[in-house]
Every structure is written in structure tokens, then in C-alpha cells.
Structure 1
Amino acid sequence: MTTQSLTTLRGHSPRVDLALAVASLKRRLAWRMHWVVGTLLGGTELLTALALWSTVLAERGSIAGYDWDAMRTYYIIGFVTAGLAFGGTEMQAQRILDGMVSIDLLKPVDYQRARAAEFIGALAANLPTLVIGVAVATVLFDPLPPVSFTAGALALLSVVLMVPLVANVIYLSLMLCFWTRRYQGVVWARQTIIAFFSGMMVPLAFMPEPLQVIAWCLPFVHFTTTPTNIYLGRVGELGALGLIAVELAWVIALWYLGRYLWGKAVKIVTIHGG
């Protein structure tokens, strides 16, 4: 049997998306100890970063326009975006590597939409980590409010758009398994690139200008730098709308790139030797 007839993208009901998301959430919560440890460690990482920068900025005053007030707010927002960027599920990678994806091809669902639903379900399991970390950091470090109501709303919109953007990036990395036959290296590379070019490690303003230019040409900058710049008022309202428009364009472009790669990848799957 060939995959020629299986390459057609199938639609499915939103109820299927919901069921897949719930199943993914339950799988993540089934690993209770892993989930509890992740929740505790996630908040600890944020507090450690804030303690470090409080010491550095106490001596320097400000770096590249970031004083302690702005920096602690930046890292609290960055903690949320990091939780979204690294909190999804990637179980489909192993199914691709061991050939079980051939079974998924026979299911009457849109493969890409199904993976997006599973990503959102797994992401929901990270909400306690984000809530606890932000709550403790807010009590201890008192982050700044947004510069305006509009800035706060646009920053929130940017974070919301980040969810499908991250889902698309992870999906594209999953597609590489069809050709690399390995996934761990892809994961490490993706996580490193995201952390560096998004500004999660340090604000992009700290980097040399050539690196900043490269970062702004990539979708990862919208994972942290875009929402924090909007929230802190480092761009005006028109600039914020422009950044969100670009972020939305990346969401659409990567979605269709995923469609294209799936169409190519599915042709190299062999089912029952045919």
C-alpha cells in the first residue's frame, strides 16, 4: 500500500481537537512527580535569575536602557513566555522515528491540527508552574505595570499569538525526523536557538547590532522580546501593532510551511513495504 492516497489533508470536528487536547493534558498530569518537580524548579529558576540581576544592576544602575525596575519585569514576562515555548509535547517524534506514524495516516483527522491540539493540551499542564512563579515573583519583586492599558492589552495579544507560533515551530522540528532519523539533536538545537534569539537568556538590546538584526529577521524574537518591548513601552502603539502584524504573519507562514513539509514527508513513509 502506498501513501499516495493518504497525503490529502483531512479536516475534522473541533470536538476532536478538544478530545486530543484533554488526552494530552491527562498524559502530562499522569507523571505526577515529574509535574510537581517541574512546577517547583520552574519558579526557582525565575527567582534565581531575578536575584542575580538585582545584584548586577545594584552596581551598574542600568544596562542598555534596562534598570532594575525594567529588568525584573522583563524576566517575569520572560518566565511566562519560556513556559509556553518549552512546555509542549513532542511525543510524535518517537512515533515518526519508529514508524508508528503510519497508523496516524489512517486516522480521519488533519495530522497538523491534531498535533496543535495535543500541544495546547500539554501546555495547560504548565499553568500551575507559571501561576506559582509569577505570583511569588510579584510578591517579592513587585514588577512594573504596563505603560498603558493599550500596551498591556497588546502585550497580552502578542503572548496569545505566541502559542500557535510555538506550536508551528515544534511541528516543523518534528517534520525533520522524517529525514534526520534522529530527534534529540534537533530538540537541543531548537531550544538553544529559541532561548538565544528570543531574548530569553538576555535582552536582545545587550547583543551586538549584527546579532540583533539577525534576531529580528527570525520568528523567535516574538517569543519574548516583542511582548516585553510592548509592555515596557520600548515601542509606541503603532510600532506594537506592526510587531503583532509581523508575528501573525509568521504564524500563518509557518503553518503553511508545515503543510508543505508534511506533504513531502508523507511520501517517504512506507506502509507494509509498499
Structure 2
Amino acid sequence: MRAYVSVFKLRLKNGLQYRTAALAGVATQFFWGFVIIMVFEAFYSNTAVQTPISLSQLITYVWLQQAFLAFVMLWFRDNELFQLITTGNIAYELCRPNGIYGLWYAKLLAQRLASALLRSLPILAVAFFLPQPYRMPLPSDPAAFVLFIIALLLGLLMIVTLSMLMYISVFVTLSPAGSLLMFGVIGEFLAGMVIPVPLMPSWLQNIVYVLPFRWTADFPFRVYSGHISKEEALIGIGIQLVWFVALLSLGRFAMAKALNKVVVQGG
């Protein structure tokens, strides 16, 4: 465990050095946040039916999505890990006394956390003081905020376990682009990153609720906005824990199977 903690700290410190890239990312995410909000604002101003989520809650959803993008995006990748698998340098990793799964998990977790720390605070600081209707409101009460933090952190742990499955799949496909496209496009859509889950048709929501992806992004954002009650949030956090343990167990099992079949050629 000490080795995993050391790797986590080193990757976190290394990731916090990329401040210029983070500032560029903040500008990009502000741009997309305004674009998405304006699209939803136009949609809401021209609809005569009752919407399943209010515009204020939807604006909160968008700003949280932009602020914590590094926590929830599945296409966030480490090209070094892809190269280790595809070039055969995975042999060096196999010589380490610690398990590969734990080391890679610590690396990916630290990278996402460092990126979010650099980007989230500036975005949230500005979003709280924007003019209406673009302003992000404060949480409805302190309890909802605490539940949001817990749900967001559990969502982060879940998204890393899902990312690990993506890297493990490259042992079989040997195509980082294919695995990234499959996990990124499908996973982010089902997580509500393209269309918020409440705005999806009922038949699609039934599919989304069965899969783990929505628990990484849609669930914590709706807890903050108050669209999900505190009682439902407590139940949802329990479901997040179950999914996390299940995905972690699946990932470790899949990694062990993949490493047993690894063939490294060359000299």
C-alpha cells in the first residue's frame, strides 16, 4: 500500500505543475458551458410542456459537468499506459514487486484529481457570480452539499475502475483508439454527459438506470441541484458503493486473466 500511496503523491505533484494547460482548459470549458446553457435556454423558452428538470437545475448540472470534467470524462487517457501494452514494455511492469492494477489505478486517480483541482475552483468561483440565467446557485442546504461531495468522490473512484477496464481491453484488442472510442462515446452518453438523463426518453432512461455510468456524473450533479432528494441520495450512495466494489473486483479479475496470456517478443 505504501508504494501505491507514493505513486499517487508523485503523480499528483506532477499533474499540478501543468497550470498553463489548465488555464487553457478553463477557457475552453467556459466557452462550451455558455454554448450548452444557451441551447437549453432557447429550448426551454420555446416549450409548452412541463420539463422534467428546471432550467436552474440544468444550468447547475452544466457548470458542475464543466468544473469536474476531469472527474467524469471517460476519454481522459494516459498514453504511457497504452504504449506499455502495445509496445511490449509491459514486461518492465511485470518485474515490479507490486501489482500492476493498484499502481495504474493510483496513477489514473492522481491524474484526474490534479486536473480537477486546477480547473474546478476557477470555474466554480466565476459561475457563482455570473448574471442570470447563467449563474450557478448554491446548494439547497448543507446536507445536500455533503451528500454531493460523497457522491462525487465515489463517482471518481467508479470512473477510474471503468477506465481500468478500458486499458485492460487493449491487451485483447491492441487498439487504444478502438477501446477509447468504444468506452468514451458510449460511456459518456450513458452517463448523461451529452444529454442529461432526465431529458432522455423513458425507454432510454430505463437502460441508463441499469448500467453503472450514470452514477459517475448524472447522480452527483442532480444531488447538488436538488433534483434528487436527500433520501434518494443516501440510497444512491449505497448503490454507488456496490457498483464500485463490483467493478473493482471485475477489473482485478480481468487484469489477472490478461496478464496470464501476455506474450512479449523481442530481445
With the shorter chain as reference, the TM-score category is 0.7 to 0.9
Instruction: Show structure 1 runs of 4+ deviating over 6 A.
Output: none
Tell me, yes or no, if the aligned pair for 2:26 and 2:119 is still in contact at 8 Å.
yes
- 1:21-32 aligned at under 5 Å gives the runs 21-25=8-12, 28=15
Tell me, yes or no, if the aligned pair for 1:76 and 1:134 is still in contact at 8 Å.
yes
Partner residue of 1:131 out of 95, 101, 121? 121
> Paired residue for 2:227?
234
Unaligned runs of at least 5 residues, structure 1: 1-11
> Paired residue for 1:225?
218
- 1:1-274 aligned at under 5 Å gives the runs 12-13=1-2, 16-25=3-12, 28=15, 34-60=21-47, 64-86=51-73, 87=76, 89-123=78-112, 124-140=114-130, 141-271=134-264
Q: How many residues align?
A: 261
Counterpart CA distance in 2 for 1:180 and 1:272 is: 17
Instruction: Tell me the alpha carbon deviations over residues 82-120 of structure 1, each in whole angstroms, 9 at most, x when there is no partner.
Output: 321235635312211111111101111121111121112
Counterpart CA distance in 2 for 1:75 and 1:199 is: 10
Percent identity for Structure 1 against Structure 2: 22
Tell me, yes or no, if the aligned pair for 1:61 and 1:68 is still in contact at 8 Å.
no
Instruction: Tell me the alpha carbon deviations over residues 111-159 of structure 1, each in whole angstroms, 9 at most, x when there is no partner.
Output: 1111121112212133222222222222213323323322221121100
Tell me, yes or no, if the aligned pair for 2:69 and 2:116 is still in contact at 8 Å.
no
- Report the CA distance between 1:27 and its aligned residue: 5.0
1:66 aligns to what SS in structure 2?
coil
Instruction: Tell me the alpha carbon deviations over residues 194-228 of structure 1, each in whole angstroms, 9 at most, x when there is no partner.
Output: 22111122221211211101101111111222113
- Report the CA distance between 1:64 and its aligned residue: 2.6
Residue range with higher mean Cα deviation, 88-97 or 212-221: 88-97
CA RMSD of aligned residues (A): 2.4
1:147 aligns to what SS in structure 2?
coil
TM-score (norm 2): 0.87
2:46 aligns to what SS in structure 1?
helix
TM-score (norm 1): 0.85
Tell me, yes or no, if the aligned pair for 1:119 and 1:167 is still in contact at 8 Å.
yes
Task: Between the two structures, name the one with larger relative contact order (CA 8 Å, sep ≥ 6).
Answer: 1
Unaligned runs of at least 5 residues, structure 2: none
- Report the CA distance between 1:174 and its aligned residue: 0.4
- Report the CA distance between 1:59 and its aligned residue: 3.4
Counterpart CA distance in 1 for 2:83 and 2:48 is: 48
Residue range with higher mean Cα deviation, 108-117 or 42-51: 42-51
Instruction: Tell me the alpha carbon deviations over residues 216-267 of structure 1, each in whole angstroms, 9 at most, x when there is no partner.
Output: 1111111222113322333333321111111111111011101110111011
Counterpart CA distance in 1 for 2:20 and 2:137 is: 34
